[in-house]
Amino acid sequence: MVQELTHFIGGKHVKGTSGRFADAFWPMTGEVASKVPLASKAEVRAAVENAKAAQPAWAATNPQRRARVLMKFLELVHADYDALAELLAKEHGKTIADAKGDIQRGLEVVEFCIGAPQMLKGEFTDGAGPGIDMYSLRQPLGVVAGITPFNFPAMIPLWKCAPAIACGNAFILKPSERDVGVPLRIAELFLEAGLPAGILNVVQGDKEAVDALLDDPDIKAIGFVGSTPIAEYVYTRGTAAGKRVQCFGGAKNHMIIMPDADMDQAVDALMGAGYGSAGERCMAISVAVPVGQATADKLIEKLIPRVESLKVGTSLDPAADFGPLVTQAHLDKVKTYVDLGVKEGATLKVDGRNFKLQGYEKGYYMGGCLFDNVTKDMRIYKEEIFGPVLSVVRAKDYNEGLALANDHEYGNGVAIYTRDGDAARDFASKVQVGMVGINVPIPVPLAYYTFGGWKRSGFGDLNQHGPDAFRFYTKTKTVTSRWPSGIKDGAEFVIPTMR
């Protein structure tokens, strides 16, 4: 039975009224799973008004009490962990183990945000001038919003909403219409944890809903994660409307393999980072850069049998390395990129295009693909494929490998595998990429550091989670205070100083 889903506004499930719906599918089987309502501008506005009415009382709640709601939310999620992971796996296509990782990395940010009382402390200077004290306050912005992608339906919504809520804002989440069940469940659990109705709202929708959020004068800040063209669109339109905006886009993450690297370790890293979650990660390694001919030949020799032996299965198969892709349209797009790579002259060493899973022939499955002899002028190198496709670009020396990462338009994540500390240190210093791994294939920082790419992988001055999240979701007010104590006042016509 196809279920009709809802929005979540004011602490209640609300049916869509626009008359427009999108089909969401089970990637494992290709069947329609649910009908997702697509909000009109009026429906978005209703959510904003609800959030605006609820926010002042939440902002007036002290940070310690707000943190207790987050603590209770963590407790509830852990009690519901297995069911939430299964729902996520079914909707998205990733394996259960990967779904649990998705949830866990989101919860780690919630754990960090429990420190809101510490993070929101301002500064104080006693005796800044004669009888004068100065102090600063961090105050919430008001109503803020997040537009999140399909590939991490738990992690990224939590990265966005948890710090916003901890800071005293009301939050409107517009998740991907491809897998909305988990975001709805998160909203339910926050309400159960004691979050006041209206502080976290979930509005389903497409471009009409996005534009309504971008244009609404009561939305003070917006966070986005998705493709670079849409990130740039959201950033441009949002900032033109006077909003604070942070947007994270596409990636083409390189792994440099030096001649002295532990090759077995490097191959293990490439397999997990390149093919995990069917490559549908913005931090996936999609380009391997072996340095030197001998290194490249050895790498290819070890990679081929590993890619050929990848186990593709259903999301519920505990033995599967990865499951189906998210939609038929996305599967077709990834296969088209493989066709293009062959046409461009790259050597397709392993071809997974024709993979079919017995009993699940209508599911969105694809085997791993491996290209060798990819060059930097090819589209399969320049563009983000977002699928189980790894390209090997051979570099004659370290400087050429470094230049590949530096010259690419994307600058999200990068890794180097080496035993040489000098090479690693030089690489970390010189590479023009936001997140760097040294013998770490997916360098996603822990929650108390910030996550963000450079160049066309990121738009805006502040990153996700860590201290930047508290800066992004608050505004600073500085107070200069003096209490009369017999000091003779008179008009002053020069700029005040503290002399």
The domain that contains 353 carries what CATH number?
3.40.309.10
The type of residue at 278 is: A
To the query of whether residue 282 is one of the catalytic residues in this protein, the response is yes
Look at residue 466 and tell me whether its pLDDT is greater than 90: yes
pLDDT of residue 131: 87
Q: How confident is the model at residue 498 (pLDDT cuts 50, 70, 90)?
A: low
pLDDT of residue 494: 78
- DSSP H/E element including 156: helix 155-166
Does 332 share its domain with 230? no
Name which of 471, 440, 469 is nearest 156 in CA terms: 469
Task: Give the separation between CA 11 and CA 442, rounded to whole angstroms.
Answer: 37
pLDDT of residue 148: 98
Does 224 share its domain with 176? yes
Per the domain annotation, does 356 fall within a domain? Answer: yes
The distance of Cα 364 from the centroid of its chain, to the nearest Å, equals 23
Q: How confident is the model at residue 448 (pLDDT cuts 50, 70, 90)?
A: very high
Name which of 450, 451, 454 is nearest 433 in CA terms: 454
Does 199 share its domain with 268? no
Does 171 share its domain with 288? no
pLDDT of residue 495: 79
pLDDT tens for each residue of 339-367: 999 999 999 999 999 999 999 999 999 99
Per the domain annotation, does 17 fall within a domain? Answer: no
Look at residue 129 and tell me whether its pLDDT is greater than 90: no
Q: What is the DSSP letter of 278?
A: G
Per the domain annotation, does 447 fall within a domain? Answer: no
Contact 288, 299 (CB under 8 A): yes
- Furthest-apart CA pair in the chain: how many Å? 90
When pLDDT is averaged across residues 1-26 and rounded to a whole number, the result is 95
Per the domain annotation, does 49 fall within a domain? Answer: yes
Does 332 share its domain with 217? no
pLDDT tens for each residue of 393-438: 999 999 999 999 999 999 999 999 999 999 999 999 999 999 999 9
Q: Please count the residues of the chain.
A: 499
Does 211 share its domain with 328? no
pLDDT of residue 493: 76
Per the domain annotation, does 367 fall within a domain? Answer: yes
Look at residue 163 and tell me whether its pLDDT is greater than 90: yes
Active-site position among 167, 247, 282, 369: 282
Percent of the residues in the chain that have a pLDDT greater than 90, as a whole number: 95
When pLDDT is averaged across residues 129-152 and rounded to a whole number, the result is 95
Question: Which residue's entry shows tokens 């990865």?
Answer: 322
The domain that contains 203 carries what CATH number?
3.40.605.10
The CA distances from residue 397 to 264, 266, 290, in Å, are: 21, 18, 9
Higher confidence at residue 129 or residue 221? Answer: 221
Domain that holds residue 275: 253-438
Look at residue 497 and tell me whether its pLDDT is greater than 90: no
When pLDDT is averaged across residues 188-216 and rounded to a whole number, the result is 98
Per the domain annotation, does 97 fall within a domain? Answer: yes
Question: Which residue's entry shows tokens 């822990």?
Answer: 446
Count up the domains in the chain and report the number: 2
Does 330 share its domain with 369? yes
Name which of 4, 23, 6, 24 is nearest 15 in CA terms: 6
Where does 345-433 have alpha helices with state H? 379-382, 398-407, 421-430
Does 167 share its domain with 271? no
Look at residue 296 and tell me whether its pLDDT is greater than 70: yes
Count each helix (H run) and each strand (E run) in the chain, helices first.
16, 23
The type of residue at 312 is: V
Q: How confident is the model at residue 164 (pLDDT cuts 50, 70, 90)?
A: very high
Does 219 share its domain with 347? no
Per the domain annotation, does 35 fall within a domain? Answer: no
Contact 169, 26 (CB under 8 A): no
When pLDDT is averaged across residues 260-268 and rounded to a whole number, the result is 98
For the chain, first and last CA: distance in Å? 76
Look at residue 282 and tell me whether its pLDDT is greater than 90: yes
Look at residue 487 and tell me whether its pLDDT is greater than 60: no
pLDDT tens for each residue of 204-226: 999 999 999 999 999 999 999 99
Look at residue 142 and tell me whether its pLDDT is greater than 80: yes
Q: How confident is the model at residue 489 (pLDDT cuts 50, 70, 90)?
A: low
Task: Give the separation between CA 396 and CA 417, rounded to whole angstroms.
Answer: 16
Per the domain annotation, does 33 fall within a domain? Answer: no
Does 324 share its domain with 433? yes
Name which of 178, 60, 69, 163 is nearest 109 in CA terms: 163
Q: How confident is the model at residue 486 (pLDDT cuts 50, 70, 90)?
A: low
Give rounded-to-5 percent helix, strand, coil for the chain: 40, 20, 40
Does 397 share its domain with 473? no
Does 421 share its domain with 471? no
